[in-house]
């Protein structure tokens, strides 16, 4: 008898938590740490793009493939177990996105985009295509930075899910995804701004950002 899940709000919450644990696995950080002995957080985050700068294309490619698998497996598994229930799959993908962006034990997570893209591509392909049409060109031109990128994500994710599934219940996980992506983007911008200020020639002590506790 095949395993199945009744798509209730409680089941969706459990799927979200499980998907969060999967998304929070610091794959790129572990690979770079093993191969180069480098703490990837020093390069701004723990995602595959950060691994490219820290350890080169081969390590970044492997990390990216595994990150893609995380989101894709989470989304497709939730979709199949819930008898092809769109909002349930979206809830699981949201958990994976949040886990990637805000992993426990790491102040700096990934951008959350990789599990979002792969999760939608495998479980809700039409929604994923619509999101990509809106967000990907902006993400490329802005290098996933700035208010224009934040606005594109805010529009693309809920609109893509709604038009791709015609299920208003996907809007709740869409909001969670947007919050995770935008908040992580702004935190990364803030960290870069503080780092640039610290390195700016002629900056006085009043210009410096407040000291923070060393990351674990």
Sorted by where each begins, the domain ranges of the chain are 9-197
Q: 205 falls in which pLDDT band (50, 70, 90)?
A: very low
Would you tell me how many other CB atoms lie within 10 Å of the CB of residue 133? 11
Q: By the 8 A CB rule, do 181 and 157 touch?
A: yes
Q: pLDDT digits over 16-44, tens only?
A: 999 999 999 888 888 888 888 887 777 66
Q: 199 falls in which pLDDT band (50, 70, 90)?
A: low
Q: Can you give the pTM of this predicted structure?
A: 0.82
Give whole-number Cα distances, 31 to 26, 148, 213, in Å: 9, 32, 25
> CA-CA distance, 80 to 188, in Å (whole number)?
35
């Amino acid at each position: 008898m095949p395993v199945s899940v009744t798509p209730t709000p409680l089941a969706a919450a459990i799927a979200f938590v499980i998907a969060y644990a999967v998304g929070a696995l610091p794959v790129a950080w572990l690979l770079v740490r093993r191969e180069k002995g480098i703490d990837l957080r020093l390069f701004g985050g723990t995602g595959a793009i950060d691994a490219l700068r820290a350890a080169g294309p081969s390590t970044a490619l492997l990390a990216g493939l595994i990150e893609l698998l995380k989101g894709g497996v989470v989304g497709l598994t939730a979709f199949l177990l819930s008898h092809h229930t769109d909002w349930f799959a979206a809830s699981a993908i949201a958990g994976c996105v949040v886990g990637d962006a805000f992993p426990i034990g790491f102040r700096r997570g990934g951008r959350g985009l990789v599990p979002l893209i792969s999760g939608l591509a495998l479980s809700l392909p039409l929604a994923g295509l619509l999101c990509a049409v809106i967000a990907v060109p902006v993400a490329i031109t802005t290098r996933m930075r700035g208010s224009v990128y934040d606005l594109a994500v805010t529009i693309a994710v809920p609109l893509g899910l709604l038009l791709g599934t015609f299920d208003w219940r996907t809007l709740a996980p869409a909001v969670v995804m947007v919050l995770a992506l935008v908040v992580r983007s702004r935190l990364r911008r803030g960290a870069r701004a503080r780092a640039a200020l610290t390195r700016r020639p002629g900056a006085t002590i009043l210009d410096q950002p407040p000291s923070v506790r060393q990351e674990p």
